[in-house]
Amino acid sequence: MIEKVKKPDSEWREELTPEQYHVTREKGTERAFSGQYHDKKEAGVYKCICCGAALFDSESKFDSGTGWPSFWAPVEEENVETKMDFSHFMVRTEALCASCGAHLGHVFRDGPQPTGLRYCMNSAALDFEEKS
């Protein structure tokens, strides 16, 4: 079971950069190819920028050509929640940190095997911890 992190909005604003806040707390999106992790190749774990929960491992990262870091599966299914997103006149599946509710990006069904999924994440929602 994931431990839930709840903080007032004022704390999130103090702890996050304006872009991180916009992406994670206001469900924003960074521009394609602008994030620091879209072409990162080092081995490590991608964690939630808000609460530090482990979300994705570099072993599941792939180059989707979209300009955002993409993964075919989370570290643990329970660490990433999904819900339907009907914004912007589209129907998509939103990906959220199960611990703190941070908006991470969206999940699409055009990824590689073994899952066929593409977790298309915002770099601004992630922190990278290199494997030693």
Q: Looking at the annotation, which residues are catalytic? A: 120
89-118 as b/e: b if 16+ CB within 10 A: eeebebbbbbbbbbbbbbbbeebeeeeebb
SS3 call for 28: coil
CA 63 from centroid of its chain's CA atoms: 15
Are the beta carbons of 52 and 39 closer than 8 angstroms?
Answer: no
